[in-house]
Amino acid sequence: MAGNSFGTLFKLTTFGESHGPAIGGIVDGCPAGITLDLVAVQKELQRRKPGQSAISTLRNEEDQVEFLSGIFEGQTTGTPIGFIIKNKDARSNDYDALKEVYRPGHADFTYSAKYGIRDHRGGGRSSARETACRVVAGAIAKQWLAQKGIQITAFVSQVLHVSMPLIDQPLSPDKIEASIVRCPNEAVAQKMIEIIEKARDEGDSLGGVITCVCSGIQPGIGEPVFDKLNAVLAHAMFSINAVKGFEIGDGFATTLRKGSENNDSIRNGKETNHDGGIQGGISNGKDVFFRVAFKPTSTIAKAQETHNVHGEKVTLEAKGRHDPCVLPRAVPIVEAMSAMVLMDMILIQNSTQA
């Protein structure tokens, strides 16, 4: 079945549902001989896991990854890396009332339209729970990339109308992780936390923007025409639940400039990077930076009008445990997908020259 795999040479295939016994994946195409820090892999999962702060879902999953194959004595063997993450705190009865109701903003109706059947327990396969598998694969890729001097840093740069100044350079991961909202600007982070808590108390939710900076990428990474580096990054980001927008470099702001203002050059002694480190779909050696827009969490406690499977109008007051704002937990997912893209495209690049 198409749609459950991502990547060309470094490829991840995931499986599992939100309220099934486990989720998991297979990473194929990972080169042999990579020494993996499995503790670091688990730390990446801890950054994404539910229940990590007062502004995240109360679902309490350990998200302990168990590797089944492809790793021997701490090194990759070149064979498929299989892993599972068991679901231990699923409360499927929270969703009994949704058996015949389509939740607004969710994939309930569209999955029914596509397959003729759906798992109503937390959205099943459409749940963001699946993204934990991406974090595992991304953690492997990040370690390989780090050996080549490539660093990927994402952070929350906007929640609703509260935003921090534009940054197109890598920041200290420690400074980002010091905030439960994963915003490196302390004053802005506090305002973000306050409006998230207010939305939560009102039974509502908020969206916002995650900025990601990838530094240390050599020139020449990316394929011509259909597999441009920026195109594949956009594909990766739009595959993440709740993503509604992507812009690389200065993005839509470039439409307000003349060519003489926008072409990257040295201005006032500083080299500009309006293109976000990519030209013609290929990296130019500068930092690659982009922004990803996330919509507000669809499941909210406020009463909403919707339809059931019989086409009748009903009022829904959703139950369950959900994030009032998905952005803090989405930061490691954005980093993971970026790492998978970069590792895959660097491996492809290594195969294009003698």
Residues 182-200: tens digit of each pLDDT = 999 999 999 999 999 999 9
Mean pLDDT of 10-16: 97
Q: Is residue 106 a contact partner of residue 126, using CB atoms and an 8 Å limit?
A: yes
**Looking at residue 255, what is its pLDDT?**
95
Pick the more confident residue, 72 or 167. 72
**What is the spatial distance between Cα 303 and Cα 203, in angstroms, rounded to a whole number?**
9
Tell me how many domains the chain contains.
1
**pLDDT tier at 238, thresholds 50, 70, 90:** very high
pLDDT over threshold 60, residue 45: yes
Q: Quick one: pLDDT band at residue 160, thresholds 50, 70, 90?
A: very high
Give the Å distances, CA to CA, from 151 to 8, 29, 183, 256, 276: 22, 21, 18, 31, 15
Strands, sheet with 151-159, edge to edge from the N-terminal-most edge strand: 162-163, 151-159, 208-215, 288-294, 243-248
Question: How crowded is the C-beta side of 175, counted as CA atoms within 13 Å?
Answer: 13
* Inter-residue contact 272 to 261 (CB < 8 Å): no
Query: Is pLDDT of 1 > 60?
Result: no
Region of poorest pLDDT, from 14-23, 149-158, 302-311: 302-311
The residue range of the domain holding 31 is 5-350
Question: Token pair of 38, please?
Answer: 């499995």
Predicted confidence (pLDDT) at residue 264 exceeds the cutoff of 90: no
Give the per-residue pLDDT at 354: 67
Domain at 81, CATH number: 3.60.150.10
Specify whether the CB–CB gap between 23 and 84 falls below 8 A: yes
Q: Check pLDDT > 70 for residue 90.
A: no
For residue 145, pLDDT over 90 is answered with: yes
Q: Give the integer Cα–Cα distance in Å for 142 and 332.
A: 11
Residue type, 115: Y
DSSP secondary structure, 25-76, as one string: EEEESPPTT-B--HHHHHHHHHHH-TTSSTTS--------EEE-SSEETTEE
**Cα–Cα distance list, 6 to 13, 113, 340 (Å):** 7, 24, 9
Distances (CA, A) of 92 to 19, 49, 119, 321: 6, 18, 10, 11
User: In the chain, where do the E strands start and end?
Assistant: 5-6, 11-16, 22-28, 65-67, 71-72, 75-76, 81-86, 151-159, 162-163, 208-215, 243-248, 266-267, 270-271, 278-279, 282-283, 288-294, 304-307, 313-316
Write the CB contacts of 136 (distance below 8 Å, at least 6 apart in sequence).
25, 27, 41, 44, 45, 65, 83, 85
Mean pLDDT confidence for 24-44: 97
pLDDT-based confidence at residue 95 (cuts at 50, 70, 90): low
Tell me the C-alpha to C-alpha distance, in Å, between residue 84 and each of 21, 70, 71, 87, 192: 10, 13, 14, 10, 34
State the pLDDT at residue 53.
80
Q: What's the CA gap between 113 and 98, in Å, rounded? A: 16
State percent of the chain over pLDDT 90. 68
202: left (phi over 0), alpha (psi -120 to 50) or beta: alpha
